[in-house]
Amino acid sequence: MTSERIKASLAPCGLSCEKCFAHVDGDIRRYSLKLKEKLGNFDIYAERFETLLGDPIFKKYPDFKEMLDYFASENCKGCRNEQCKLFKNCGVRGCHQKKQIDFCYQCDEFPCDRTNFDTGLYKGWIMINEKIKKIGLEEFYEKNRSRPRYV
């Protein structure tokens, strides 16, 4: 039986939903909200600092803020709860549900051609699931816990 904690974190394909920028409870959203809160009305100060310090970097603050607002507004509940918002064509979600298995590595058809992933994602999917098969889910989870998703 797969631990519920690991299932809440990893999608059936093995990728980490929890580390995805779009996840409602992920660190990226959480820290973005925190940073927004800490920055307060920095807009006004960015203009002032541009003049005061003569540093044109502060001109870029509106773009930075726009990106931060975007990260802070994401709200995906993860692949096990709703359709993936990034990979709308993902073939794994419906498939693992039909097969009633928690992860692709447990499937007797792995590696299959039903994922609809592009080449890069497909390679990553194979690598992740082969790794889990080799070292076990718990160890894979622990080893990758603190690694960023975007490496």
Per-residue tokens: 2: 């797969």
**Phi-psi group of 76: left, alpha or beta (phi > 0 → left; psi -120 to 50 → alpha; rest → beta):** beta
Q: Which of 14, 28, 58, 96 binds ligand SF4 (CB under 6 A)?
A: 96
Residue 16, SS3?
strand
Q: Does 118 bind ligand SF4 (CB under 6 A)?
A: no
Q: Does 28 bind ligand SF4 (CB under 6 A)?
A: no
Q: Does 23 bind ligand SF4 (CB under 6 A)?
A: yes
Q: How far apart are CA 43 and CA 54, in angstroms?
A: 16
Q: Does 29 bind ligand SF4 (CB under 6 A)?
A: no
Q: Which of 81, 116, 110, 113 is nearest to 97 (CA)?
A: 81
Q: Does 84 bind ligand SF4 (CB under 6 A)?
A: yes
Residues forming the site for ligand SF4 (CB under 6 A): 11, 17, 20, 22-23, 76, 78-79, 84-86, 91-92, 95-96, 99, 101, 104, 107, 109-110, 112, 114-115
